[in-house]
Amino acid sequence: MTSESYRLNPFEQSNNDGHISVINNQIYIKDAMKMGKQPFLLESDTVDVFVNGILLKGSKVVFNSDQVEWKLREKGSFFKIWVRADQLEAYFQLLESPKVSDLKPVHAAPSAQLELDGDIKLCLRRINEEFHKQGIVAPDIVSVMHELSNSTYKPVVIARGISPQAGKDGWLETYFENATSQMLEETDGKVNFRQGRSIPSVESGTVLGEIHPPELGKHGISVFGTPIEAPSGRELAVKAGKHIEISRGKCIALRSGRPVVTGDLTKCIDIQHVYEHKGNVNLETGNIFFNGDVVIHGDVEEEMHVESFGNITVYGNVYKSTLISAQNIYVTGTIFGSQLAGGRVGLLYSKVYNILDQFLKQFALLVDSVDIVLERFVRNGDKRATYGYLADLLIKMKFPMIAKLAMQYSEVMQFAGKMVPPEVLMVDRMLGTYRKSDLLQQKSTKQELISITDYMVKLHERIKDSIYEESDAVITSANGTRIETTGNIYVIGSGTVQSELYAGNQVVYKRSDSSCRGGRLVAGKEIEVREVISGHRIYLEAGEKIAVHSGSELRLVMNGAAMDVYDECREVIFIKVNGRISQIPMPKRNG
């Protein structure tokens, strides 16, 4: 217990004089007796002293009947306390070394001046007052004391809440196998096509799946002790196709055929027909356009076009032709000089979305610029320039990307096939205005230009909810061919020669003897190549990693970083570390 008393100088004081005592940081006053001197307080430099609720300025005689209180000065606080925006963590930070602790009087008869000195007890009192003021529950005082004793002047976490746990989203459980897994089997380390039809089929009345409702989340608790509401899971939107009935969460087939699920944010489940073509596809048979699966038992000859809203399976070769599928593509033979697009709707929507996203951003800048220039024309009394004329002029001088994006959209439409959604084609016609100067200059008002883009904005938003699930392409070999898919590209045969493979997820050469002779491989996530034949420089671009079992003369690109590999490399994985591409040894397989 600390106890300090103010006493008068022995040469000046008498036993009748009053005095001031401080015990456990509380101020006590003893009044003078008879003719003794009554004690008085002086203003302090370290604390605010209040006599009967009034801040002490200068000096004041005090009596036992007075209520004398004190508190630390608010100015120059030696610490700060704050709470993270999500209210899940509170922090304490020491700003300067604490020099205050217990309250003591300075002896200066016949007056007394109070100041602070001693250990950390008083610091904790001030800090606790701030915790209470901010409403922080159960702060970690031990951590605060440690920081006061061993000051780092860095933020210290002194309270943690409990994070809310979001509820599980609704989901669709399906009771049928995926077609891709059925088309591949592994035997003695080699992946081969199953010979024969491998398309899952169901009968009318079959329960295909069940829609599970979303689950409630678990609430959290903030550092203030208040509940933090947890978001519930989102309900899955499921659309029944023409041949599906949804009853009490069950999806029931209304006819026989192949079950199919498409969509991402919105799932669409339906039954598709399967069209089987016996023999080759050529000029005599004509092109194939079918709203379901297409199975071709033969070759696809030159200059032919096969398009399907389901899977395309070719048990033969493909020669200089185009295969476009809304879902997966499987080719057992060799592909020569052709173009393949798996997940056509997904690819189309992805390209359309990206082009519109860039276009609308550029258009917003264009409109602002035209407004500024038009205002100057009007201010100068020149009313000849129309809105469309100035827009065309600025596109040529400052926003050439707008015309380029309009051309890119047109190019995408040319390869999109016949079954392009009408709203997507409508935008292509609208963008024609930005591909031809004379059409753009005819627009005399701002509203005419904005009305054109209103439709684009709506399509841009709608596509967000219509991105289709990943689709795969499974091929044996390809020569001079371009393949695109939203999912994976699997090469399960001898390999590729001077071909371009673009996958939203992975490009994988499955067989140990599959080779890659030049060309371009691009994958959203990973690439795995077995043997890159020297003398055929190859471009490899991936988002996460590139695995090379054997190869040289490689051009590697990963998220903006690039690297050239000229010498032979074996069993290595390339990844991006600290902004640069680095290589690490490939893990050895067991056995």
Q: How confident is the model at residue 468 (pLDDT cuts 50, 70, 90)?
A: low
Cα distance between residue 102 and residue 297, in whole Å: 94
Q: SS3 of 458, please?
A: helix
> Would you list the DSSP string of 355-390?
HHHHHHHHHHHHHHHHHHHHHHHHHTT-----HHHH
**Cα(500)–Cα(507) distance, integer angstroms:** 11
Are the beta carbons of 200 and 272 closer than 8 angstroms? no
Q: What is the pLDDT of residues 515-538, one digit of tens each?
A: 999 999 999 999 999 999 877 789
DSSP-assigned beta bridge partners for residue 21: 5, 28
d(CA 112, CA 7) in angstroms, rounded, equals 9
Question: Peptide bond preceding 110: is omega within 30 degrees of 0, i.e. cis?
Answer: yes
- Note the pLDDT of residue 40: 81
Please tell me the distance from the alpha carbon of residue 176 to that of residue 270, in angstroms, as a whole number: 12
> Mean pLDDT, to the nearest integer, of 408-413?
84
- Mean pLDDT estimate for the chain: 81
DSSP string, 125-143: HHHHHHHHHHT--S--HHH
Number of separate helices (H) and strands (E) present in the chain: 9, 45
Q: Give me the mean pLDDT over the 508-517 stretch.
A: 91
Which conformational region is residue 162 in: left (phi greater than 0), alpha (psi within -120 to 50 degrees), or beta? beta
- For residues 459 and 443, the answer to whether their CB atoms sit within 8 Å is no
Query: CA dist 428 to 411, 415, 418, 434, Å?
Result: 10, 13, 14, 10
The confidence band for 427, taking pLDDT boundaries of 50, 70 and 90, is: confident
CB neighbour class for 378 (10 Å; exposed up to 12, middle 13-18, buried from 19)? exposed
pLDDT of residue 246: 92
> Two tokens at 512?
């140990």
What pTM, to 2 d.p., does this model score? 0.53
Counting beta carbons within 10 angstroms of the beta carbon of residue 54, is it exposed (0 to 12), middle (13 to 18) or buried (19 or more)? exposed
**CB 338, CB 317: distance < 8 Å:** no
- 182 pLDDT band, cuts 50/70/90, is very low
Say which residue, 67 or 183, is predicted with more confidence.
Answer: 67
User: In the structure encoding, which two tokens stand for residue 478, read together?
Assistant: 């390809």
Within 10 A of 577 (CB to CB), how many other CB atoms are there? 10
Confidence of residue 41 (pLDDT cuts 50, 70, 90): confident
Q: How far apart are CA 10 and CA 551, in angstroms?
A: 99
pLDDT above 70: percentage of residues in the chain: 83
What DSSP string describes 385-397?
A: --HHHHHHHHHHH
At residue 443, φ and ψ (nearest 5 deg) are -80, 110
Model pLDDT for residues 199-224, shown as the tens digit of each residue: 567 888 889 999 999 988 899 999 99
| pLDDT of 415 strictly over 80 | no
Residue recorded with tokens 């109070």: 114
Q: What pLDDT is recorded for position 104? A: 54
The CA-atom distances, in angstroms, between 215 and each of 169, 170, 231 are 7, 7, 10
Give the pLDDT confidence of 536-585 residue by residue, as tens digits: 789 999 999 999 999 988 999 998 899 999 888 999 999 998 889 999 99
C-alpha distance across the termini of the chain, in Å? 74
d(CA 73, CA 66): 21
**Residues, the chain:** 591
How wide is the angle at C-alpha 297 spanned by C-alphas 262 and 314, nearest 5°? 45
* Residue 300 DSSP code: B
Give the C-alpha distances (Å, rounded to integers) separating 384 from 214, 370, 445, 450: 60, 14, 13, 21
CA–CA separation, 503 vs 507, rounded Å? 6
Q: What is the pLDDT of residue 72?
A: 65
Separation between Cα atoms, residue 157 and residue 142, nearest integer Å: 11
Q: What is the DSSP string of 296-337?
A: EES-B-TT-EEEESS-EEESS-EES-EEEESS-EEEEEEEES
pLDDT band at 196 (very low <50, low <70, confident <90, very high): very low
User: Which pLDDT does position 99 carry in this prediction?
Assistant: 54
Contact 483, 490 (CB under 8 A): no
| Span 118-131, pLDDT tens digits | 445 567 777 888 88
Q: Where are the alpha helices (DSSP H) in 386-545?
A: 387-397, 400-415, 422-431, 437-441, 446-464
Query: What is the pLDDT at residue 3?
Result: 35
